[in-house]
Amino acid sequence: MPDFDRELEQRLVRYAAIDSQSDMDSPAQPSTAIQHAMLDLMVQELQEIGAAEITKTDYGTVIATIPGNAPGPTIGFLAHVDTAPQFNATGVKPRVIHGYNGGAISFPDAPDLVLAPEDFPYLATKIGEDIVTASGLTLLGADDKAGIAIVMTAARHLLENPEIPRPTIRVAFTPDEEIGRGVDARLPKDLGVDFAYTFDGGDAGEVIYETFSADFCTVTVTGVSIHPGEATCKLVNAIHLASRIVETLPQATMTPETTADREGFIHAVDMKGSADQMVLRFILRDFERDGLEAKGALVRQVCAAIAATEPRARIDVQIASQYRNMRYWLEDDMAPVELARAALSDLGVAPIEAVIRGGTDGSRLTEMGVPCPNLFTGMQNVHGPLEFVSVQDMALATRLMLQIAQRASA
């Protein structure tokens, strides 16, 4: 199989420099106009490599076909174009450290920032490989532009080599995955596959079929506003009540920074407003439905207790479903998972059993009837300035996509 390293490196550097953050506060679809820069580039590049049936849907997903030449299931491969809104992603300056020497990596735009193998053991396994990072002031966006580079590189290779056996393949690039809105209700029908894979995972070798289940919680605290000079026994400060809600929720046992493995959490992600009204937003996560429901019930309980101390205030709690653990459906049909595992074994790589403390577009697709495990890209430390990815991990993922296609046609 050819060496894909330089193509993947060039693609990732090109894609990562494009600002495409999503925005949870926007009702638009996609949530930000800047995501169209990536979506339109995908259309252009798919045209250039000769893909068929290229469509940009009105809900902002780009879909295309790689025609098959052998019997087999129609398979989808997906990646998302948006980058996380949690950290600065404007003005990304990707850089490549060729032949990483095993030492600490510094950042030109943030002299105090250090990416050290002592702190991140996965980096220590990448000696001699080519490491891509940003410059220190932004995230890199390998989540999920590494996935895009992998899918596009494999698609280009298949289209340039029509003798490689494969069934019909559909590729798709979605917006707004980072805010839980990447899979429109119309996508399963428009995609038209028997099953699919997202390239949106971490360590090389991971084949993921279990994710968090997720809800989004909005708490609106409405106080009583009055001039502070006349506030005696009249003012009800929403900021104080909102702060008490956050402080009353478990801090030592149920936040992302205090949990691990299969433990769920309640994560305060945003707090905005004034003395008159505050809006708090939480993400609720658990691997099991009953655990997720218990976390929502706990937020309601805490809010009710705080509200009882100040009857003049109003505290409203709204909980919306985001996605559910894909395991609930995949455990009934593990064929896509077993296909990926077998393809990895063909490449001489032992599949890694892991769970995602997060979700993917595959979580929603699987729930909507399209089985969709998640595959690795190599990306690490996502959503922050220490994000990095190995080009060689991406190349292995590219070979995995090609091997899955060939195995499916056997």
* Residues labelled catalytic: 82, 177
What percentage of the chain's residues is helix, strand, coil (to nearest 5)?
35, 25, 45
Residue 26, both tokens: 């926007």
Distance CA 173, CA 144 (A): 10
Distance from the Cα of residue 25 to its chain's centroid: 18
Residue 115, beta-bridge partner list: 105
At 341, which amino acid appears?
A: R
DSSP for 260-309, written as a single string: -TT--EEEEEEEEE-SSEEEEEEEEEESSHHHHHHHHHHHHHHHHHHHHT
Distance CA 52, CA 72 (A): 18
Distance CA 30, CA 85 (A): 14
Q: 291 — phi, psi (to 5°)?
A: -65, -40
Distance CA 163, CA 152 (A): 18
Distance CA 83, CA 383 (A): 8
Distance CA 189, CA 62 (A): 14
On whether the CB atoms of residues 65 and 168 are closer than 8 A, the answer is yes
Give the three-class secondary structure for 194: coil
Residue 62, both tokens: 């780009």
DSSP state of 230: G
